[in-house]
Structure 1
Amino acid sequence: MIYPITAYGDPVLKEPAQDIPKDYPELKELVEDMYATMYHAHGVGLAAPQISKGIRLFVIDSEPMMDDEDKGKGVKKAFINPEIVEEDGEEWGFEEGCLSIPGVREVVYRPERIVIRYFDEEWNEHEDTYDGMTARVIQHEYDHVEGILFTDYLSGLKKRLIKNKLAKISKGEVDADYKMRFPEMSKKR
């Protein structure tokens, strides 16, 4: 199943997500649907709040972000109830975008390395270290389950410059080549 992507302005994107219990119904199907939705929208990561589910789950496939020398080193993985336990290294900037905020891209600075603890779909616990582009993709998606958007990292000036774009997105005045769910449209029903 392909879910509509929840657009900027929906409160679910700004609320910290809840832990998933081990008896969460049809979790494996949800993970597969999230991958399908992410690929359909040409994304490299998707968090459950982006499909209007306030739970601590995200999926990534960082392979498309790898440069020529790192081809084949991308990571495809689901992260359940994740917790970043350490961030270190030099902060580096990279222009990020978000499926929930189509048409907006801005440079965000993030640490180069992370250690993250999480469960997989079989409820096996992991603690892994990631760096570079994969760490960035994980940090971006992790922020979603914490109720943080990449635009929250921008300076006051940058936020003012994109304010009208963000308002239009929340009203459904945006072109995206995937189905979206808009907060302003939901209120009118």
Structure 2
Amino acid sequence: MAVLPIRIQGEPVLHAPAEPVTEFDEELRRLVADMYETMDAAPGVGLAGPQVGVNKRLFVFGWTDEDDVEHRGVAINPVLWIQPTPVGAADDEEEIEGCLSFPGERFPLRRSPAAILRAVDLDGKPFEIEAEGWLARIFQHEYDHLDGILYLDRLPRPFDKEWSKISKKRGWGVPGQAWQPGVDQLEG
């Protein structure tokens, strides 16, 4: 297994829809193992294929809830259904979100409180997870990556301007930017 470089906002693979996974082979198993290792090293709670430069519709997730229940898995070729997102401003503490492809920064973003994830696992076996709260947020965030959407693209004012300034200051927003978990020290 290996820790992979994580692409930063501006890398083209992050801003285009990903392609379906068609080969369920040893190469896919290695990629998923590397994605888990990368997510854990970052550390993060989710990581999508495009974030490691792989234009495929898959993501891994790993999060332990307040009852000490671990939610960990891989979603390949997922479909996501969400409840309507509540109207109003996001709570600055309860609805704060970050992204490994815009490391070191967090902004409030309103998301749907519940989601249903349908996908297949590494063996091509279908599964379904009904999620609420943070797990639903994780699924929405990672699923967005598969459609070429970063959470930054969803931020309302004034946060849309704030992240843009940060990106320019750090020289992000252009192709070729990545960071290596466990090696690079990023400001934030």
Q: What interval of TM-score do these two structures reach, taking the shorter chain for normalisation?
A: 0.7 to 0.9
Structure-2 residue corresponding to 1:166: 167
Amino acid paired to 2:75: F
Corresponding residue for residue 73 of structure 2:
77
The 3-state SS of whatever aligns with 2:111 is strand
Give unpaired runs (5+ residues) of structure 1: 181-189
Find the aligned partners of 2:178 and 2:48 in 1 and give their Cα distance.
21
Correspondence for 2:116: 115
Question: CA 1:160–1:90 in 2, change beyond 3 Å: closer, same or farther?
Answer: closer
Two-structure CA RMSD over aligned residues (Å): 2.4
CA contact (8 A) 1:22 1:123 kept: no
How much has 1:161 moved relative to structure 2? 2.1
165-174 vs 52-61, greater mean Cα deviation = 165-174
1:31 aligns with 2:54: no
| Alignment correspondent of 1:185 | none
The more displaced of 111-120 and 21-30 is: 21-30
- Counting helix residues as a fraction of each chain, which structure ranks higher? 1
1:43 deviation in Å?
0.7
- The alignment-based identity, stated in percent, is 34
Contact 1:20 1:80 in 2 (8 A): yes
Contact 2:24 2:123 in 1 (8 A): no
> Which segments of structure 1 move beyond 6 Å, counting only runs of 4 or more?
171-176
Kept in 1: contact 2:120–2:127 (CA 8 A): yes
CA distance in structure 2 between the aligned counterparts of 1:160 and 1:62, rounded to whole angstroms: 30
Question: CA 1:80 to 1:27, structure 2 compared with 1: closer, same or farther past 3 Å?
Answer: same
Q: TM-score, normalised by structure 1?
A: 0.83
Q: Which amino acid is the alignment partner of residue 76 of structure 1?
A: R
Tell me the TM-score normalized by structure 2: 0.83
**C-alpha contact 1:45 1:61 (8 A) present in aligned 2:** yes
Q: 1:164 to 1:174 in 2, by over 3 A?
A: farther
Change (3 A) 1:17 1:133: same
Distance 1:27 1:175 in 2: 22
Name the counterpart of 1:147.
148
Where does residue 137 of structure 1 map in the other structure? 138
Cα deviation, residue 71, structure 1:
2.7
Give the one of 74, 82, 89 matched to 1:87: 82
* In structure 1, distance between residues paired with 2:158 and 2:78: 32
CA distance in 2, matches of 1:97, 1:149: 10
SS of the aligned residue for 1:109 comes to coil
